[in-house]
Each structure stands twice: as C-alpha cells, then as structure tokens.
Amino acid sequence: MFSALSAAERFLMRWTLRVAMALLVLTACVSLWQVITRFVFEQPSTWSEVAARSLNIWMVYLGVAVAFRTGALMSVEFLYEKLRGTAKLVLIAVITGLCLGVLLVIAWFGWEMAGRVQFQMLAGVENPLTGEGISIATVYMAIPVGAALAIVGLLARAVEQVREVLGTSETSTVGREIFEL
C-alpha cells in the first residue's frame, strides 16, 4: 500500500512541477506580449498584465508544493545533520507539525478568500469561450490548491525522512525522481 501511495504522490508532484514550469513559460510569453504591444505598437494590451500576474501567482503556489516535497525551502539542516535516532525523529515531527499547521491555516483562509471574491471579475480579461468575465476567485484558488499540494509534499518528505532515520529505506532520493520528466 505504501508503494502505491508513494507512486501516486510522485506522479502528482511530477505533474505539479510540469504545470508550474508551463505557467512560467506562459507568463514569460504574456509579459513579452505586454512589452511588444506597449513599446512597439504603442497600444498596451488590456489583458496581458492581469493575465501575467495571475499565471505567476499560480506558478508560485504550485512551485512551493514541489519545494516542500524536495526540501528546497529553508530548513534546520545543521540540527538535522547533527542529531541521531529519537532526537532526529522528534525534530522531523516538530518541523512537519509546524509546517502542517501553517499550511492548513493558509489553505483555510485561501478558501475563505476565494469564496469572498467569487463575484468579482478580473479587470480587462474575458473568457475567450463565453465572452464573460473571469472571476478573481480563479486566481485566489491558487492559495488553497497550492497549500493542499504542499501538504502532500510535506507529508511525503516526512515519511521518507522517518524511513531513512529508521533504516527502512534505501539511500534517500528525496525529490530526485520528481525532476525526471
């Protein structure tokens, strides 16, 4: 069962990283379009600034989830390397618990904020399929979605670290397989 959950988590994190990378490329393209329309054609695009900002927000929150999984965020590496056995397990539990608490608060309030702004529309941006406005809630949903994915990554990393300390896993491959596109 653990291997099935681990495979599902790796698949989820791999696709989260791919989407974040695609959003980075899309943000760069939209920003380039903004520059071209503003300075070359002298007719600034009405939608590109808002779209680039929205794409960037989604990219960051998805990227944070992968950063939690790979351990790329600031950590207590000095203590982690010095401690052994039970003390190391306690440190892992404390760090995971604190991060989990913060991520749950972020997810909760992100969900609340998305609900509050669901009837507000992004300025200058229309849905190309319906011609109607796009709700600001689509941007705010990056917060709870990113936090939920970060929780998955955090828990997967904690399980991997605990298994490493207990000696029940091979050499740590924390996050290495995620980057294998």
Token pair in block for residue 110: 């992100």
Predicted local distance difference test score (pLDDT) of residue 179: 58
Flag whether pLDDT at 149 surpasses 70.
Answer: yes
Flag whether pLDDT at 17 surpasses 70.
Answer: yes
Cα atoms in the Cβ-side hemisphere of radius 13 Å centred on 150: 27
Residues 6+ apart with CB under 8 A from 21: none
Flag whether pLDDT at 30 surpasses 70.
Answer: yes
Average pLDDT score over residue span 97-117:
97
Q: Is 6 exposed, middle or buried (0-12, 13-18, 19+ CB in 10 A)?
A: middle
Predicted local distance difference test score (pLDDT) of residue 169: 66
Token pair in block for residue 131: 């011609």
Whether 34 contacts 52, CB under 8 Å = yes
Q: Which stretches within the chain are classed as H helix?
A: 2-35, 48-70, 77-82, 85-116, 137-140, 142-166
Binned at pLDDT 50, 70 and 90, residue 115 comes out as very high
